[in-house]
Copies of this chain bind each other. A is one copy, B any other.
Amino acid sequence: MTRRFIAVDWGTTNRRAYVIEDGVVTHTDRDATGILSVPAGGFAAEAAALRERMGGGPMLLAGMVGSNRGWIDAGYVPCPATLETLAAAVARPAPGIAIVPGVKTLEQGRADVMRGEEVQLLGATATGMAPADGLLCQPGTHCKWARMAGGAIDGFATAMTGELFALLRDHALIGAAMTGGVADGTAFRDGVARSAEGDLAAALFGVRPASLLGLRDDADAASYVSGLLIGADCRAQALPGEQVHLLADPTLGALYAAALRTIGAVPVTLDSHDAFVAGIVRLEELIA
């Protein structure tokens, strides 16, 4: 008999659904029905419609759908967090539907939370894509850096690297110069190198005088700023010589890999969708 369920990575602005049969993805579906587009009280109907569209069956949801802005608040399990502690704490908002909780850390009074990323992290480790002990990175608007120990999420930090980039481009004085695209090249590497100085607020301002004095083409400003921010992020979290497993889309993954190489760390790129599927399949087995 086929073991079949519907896994959903339900985020703030997007949703990705998978039909999984005996551990294999047989159908996927992506839409823009993130939690912000679902009216309060509308999650049961939204989930039922998705379930019908995907052919029915039990559902296992992860991500912001389990936040206080989502269907129900599925809470957070503490570090060290494992697939077992997550499975033991799933919320069940309706028959046949479970929601994975998030993870929190309070290491040395330094609070942090994640919701959705934990499935990828633990999936990557459980399948051996990433080592049981090591540093994993999920670049993005809010970049997660997780320290894995014995296969568990032992601690983590979130950097608002992507959000800072967007704030600067859209609202800062230097944003006027940030009209070009971002690519790995001389300007990006210059930014990564400059981030070694540890004076981010001054390095960022420097975009403007470099433009005024004709020292950098404005077409390169966005790449330079990206290099500064990603470089500072990588230097703060990864040590020279350290292996960093990246769970990222190809574009952002390539930028983080270039920055990590520049500071002497060793990037290893993983497929984040594969990691999610691996994690959610194991979770479904644990809660069945």
B113→A212 contact, CB < 8 A: yes
A237 CB to closest chain B CB, in angstroms? 7
Total interface residues in chain A, CB < 8 Å: 44
Residue of B nearest to A143 (CB): B201
Asked whether A106 and B213 contact (CB < 8 A) given A160-B205, A201-B160, the answer is yes
B201→A232 contact, CB < 8 A: yes
Asked whether A173 and B163 contact (CB < 8 A) given A213-B113, A232-B201, the answer is yes
Residue of B nearest to A114 (CB): B209
B158→A112 contact, CB < 8 A: no
Q: Kindly name the residue among A173, A197, A209, A235 whose own CB sees the greatest number of chain B CB atoms within 10 A.
A: A209
Residue of B nearest to A109 (CB): B215
List CB contacts (< 8 Å) of A106-132 with chain B. 106, 109-113
Asked whether A200 and B113 contact (CB < 8 A) given A104-B209, A158-B205, A213-B104, the answer is no
Asked whether A201 and B164 contact (CB < 8 A) given A104-B209, A171-B170, A213-B104, the answer is yes
A160→B172 contact, CB < 8 A: yes
List CB contacts (< 8 Å) of A192-226 with chain B. 197-202, 204-206, 209-210, 212-213, 215
* Per-residue B-contact encoding for A131-175, CB less than 8 Å = 1, 0 else: 000000000001101000000000001111101100110111110
A123 CB to closest chain B CB, in angstroms? 23
Which listed residue, B111, B209, B215, touches A215 by the CB 8 Å rule? Answer: B111
Report the separation of the CA atoms of residues A157 and B194 in the bound assembly, to the nearest whole angstrom: 14
Report the separation of the CA atoms of residues A112 and B164 in the bound assembly, to the nearest whole angstrom: 22
Residue of B nearest to A175 (CB): B167
A236→B202 contact, CB < 8 A: yes
Report the separation of the CA atoms of residues A210 and B210 in the bound assembly, to the nearest whole angstrom: 37
Report the separation of the CA atoms of residues A53 and B207 in the bound assembly, to the nearest whole angstrom: 39
In the complex, what residues of B have CB within 8 A of residue A158's CB? 202, 205-206, 209
What residues make up the interface of A, taking CB atoms closer than 8 Å to B?
Answer: 104, 106, 109-113, 142-143, 145, 157-161, 163-164, 167-168, 170-174, 197-202, 204-206, 209-210, 212-213, 215, 229, 232-233, 235-237
